[in-house]
Each structure stands twice: as structure tokens, then as C-alpha cells.
Amino acid sequence: MPEGDTIFRAARTLHRALAGQTVTRFETVLPKLARIDCDTPLAGRTVESVASRGKWLLMHFSGDLILLSHMLMSGSWHIYRPGEKWQRHRTHMRIVVETPPMLAVAFNVPVAEFHSAASLARREAFNRLGPAPLAADFDAAVAIANLAARPHLELGLALLDQTVLAGLGNVLKSEVAFACGLSPFRKVATLTPEQLAGLVATARQFLRANVTESSGHRRTTGRMDGEEFLWVYGRQGEPCRRCAAPIRSQKHTADGRISFFCPVCQT
């Protein structure tokens, strides 16, 4: 699943390509979007900005229209010059926003909605998003309080809860727990305030590092070797980079998601 850093980068790329440009063509296979475009056409509007919030991507158009999309497991946004060959087949296309220099194409985006600022504010799931560590107004104290308010959740699941902290996915949640020396199967209730603060700070650090990382690889170890980008994720049975014990993976009983961890370094 794309994590918050991936969506942040997608938004930044789209913003650089489209902001300030006038939409010359809008195309979609999604009926709800097509109906809005029919009633209040996208063509002629200006792309004001593209931004991310957690794992949501928001494309703001002039005239109080916002395209909200979520990639879930399979979706992606690409940018192309007019006439350039797409990297995905046309059958995967869901949305095209064309401007004179560039067009943005959404492939397999499962969630896409038009909103006004008012309807977006009412949309519950969006409002319930926790603070996004990549946002300029990120408030760590709120994120720490949100974590503390879920004492019965296992840490590995609490870190994925987008109402706690918006942006972490499966890879980084395992990496954050390792970096903090905490078992992802501990209940949040067993953690000290210092440990909670450390988790939030580490989550932010890893997300930020991966926004500036140019290789396209998600990386938490700070190492340059392509084999050593991650501490634990996907490394079941391989030796821990700190203590050499075999890395383990285990499903959380609550929802069957997997956490990777070192049984020695993480307690």
C-alpha cells in the first residue's frame, strides 16, 4: 500500500506540473465524477494546488471544487506530456486532468470524489484523520495523545490507525517499532509517555527521510547499500542488523496484518 511519503511525493510532483495551469480537458470513467463535470465543467478551471493529507490526495480547482482521491492498494497518479505514451494500459485509466503543458492520469484509483470546501469538511473519514507528520502544521502532541487514547490496541496496529497518525503503512510501522526497540505486539497501555513521543518522532523522521530520498526506495537504515535499506520489513529469517538474531514476522490476531520484528532488540 502506498504510504504517506509516497502520496506526499505524488502530490508534490502533480503540484509542480499542474498548479496555475488551466484545465483544457477532463475525462473519467467514474460516473459520479462525470456527472459533476457535466453539471459544472472542469475545463476552464485553474488547478490551484495539489496537496496530500495522510494517504489522501487533494487536487484543488478554482471555483471551490476539490478532487479527493485515495490510492488504497492499487491506485497511482502519473503525469505525462501531451501525446506521451502512458505506462499503464488505457483500461486502467480512471481520471485524466489535461492542461496545456502536462496531463495527470489516475490509474485504478478506487476512491475519488468531488467536494466543495464545505462538503469536504463534513466528510467524516477525512475529518477523523489524525495529524499528518508531513504537514507543515503537524502537532506531535496531538498524535501522542491519539496514541495514548488507544491503550488496548497493539502497537503495530495503533501505528497503522489513520485516525491516530495519518501516513504510516505496513513497511514503516514495522520499521518505526524496530527503531524504537518496541515489540509491535505490546499494548499501547504498556508504553511510557517518552516511548510514545519517541514513536511519533521516529514516524515523522522516517516519513520525511523518504520524501527527500531520491532513489525511489523506502529507506530507514540510512545505509546506501541497496540490500540494506530496511531494518526488519520483509526480512523474516534474515539476521537482525543490530544483534544478528533471526527477524520474525507474525500476524496481529485482531486483523491478520503482519508485523516484522527482532525478538531480541524489541521488547
State which of residues 25, 88, 242, 251 lies at the interface with Zn ion (CB under 5 A): 242
Q: Kindly indicate which of the ranges 61-69, 116-124, 132-140, 233-241 contains the residues binding Zn ion, using the contact rule CB under 5 A.
A: 233-241
Contact by Cβ (8 Å): 97, 104: yes
Q: How far apart are CA 32 and CA 48, in angstroms?
A: 22
| Catalytic residue list contains 2 | yes
| Catalytic residue list contains 228 | no
Q: How far apart are CA 248 and CA 123, in angstroms?
A: 39
Q: Which amino acid is at 257?
A: R
State which of residues 243, 246, 251, 254 lies at the interface with Zn ion (CB under 5 A): 243
Is there binding between residue 182 and Zn ion (CB under 5 A)? no
Maximum Cα–Cα distance for the chain, whole Å?
62
Give min distance, CB of 244 to Zn ion, in A. 7
Q: Kindly indicate which of the ranges 121-129, 167-175, 197-205, 244-252 contains the residues binding Zn ion, using the contact rule CB under 5 A.
A: 244-252
Q: How far apart are CA 167 and CA 1, in angstroms?
A: 11
State which of residues 68, 97, 164, 262 lies at the interface with Zn ion (CB under 5 A): 262
Q: Single out the catalytic residue among 45, 213, 257, 263.
A: 257
Binding-site size, Zn ion (CB under 5 A): 7
| Catalytic residue list contains 175 | no
Contact by Cβ (8 Å): 26, 42: yes
Q: How far apart are CA 100 and CA 82, in angstroms?
A: 8
Q: Kindly indicate which of the ranges 72-80, 198-206, 240-248, 253-261 contains the residues binding Zn ion, using the contact rule CB under 5 A.
A: 240-248
Residues whose CB falls within 8 Å of the CB of residue 40, separated by 6 or more in sequence, listed in order: 63, 65
State which of residues 6, 240, 259, 260 lies at the interface with Zn ion (CB under 5 A): 240
Q: How far apart are CA 118 and CA 265, in angstroms?
A: 48
| Catalytic residue list contains 123 | no
The smaller minimum CB distance to Zn ion, of residues 4 and 156, is found at 156
Q: Single out the catalytic residue among 3, 98, 154, 175.
A: 3
Contact by Cβ (8 Å): 220, 172: yes
Q: Kindly indicate which of the ranges 29-37, 60-68, 181-189, 255-263 contains the residues binding Zn ion, using the contact rule CB under 5 A.
A: 255-263
Q: With the CA atoms of 119, 12, 173 and 76 taken in that order, what torsion angle do they form, in degrees rounded to the nearest 10?
A: 80
Residues near Zn ion (CB under 5 A) are 240, 242-243, 245, 262, 264-265
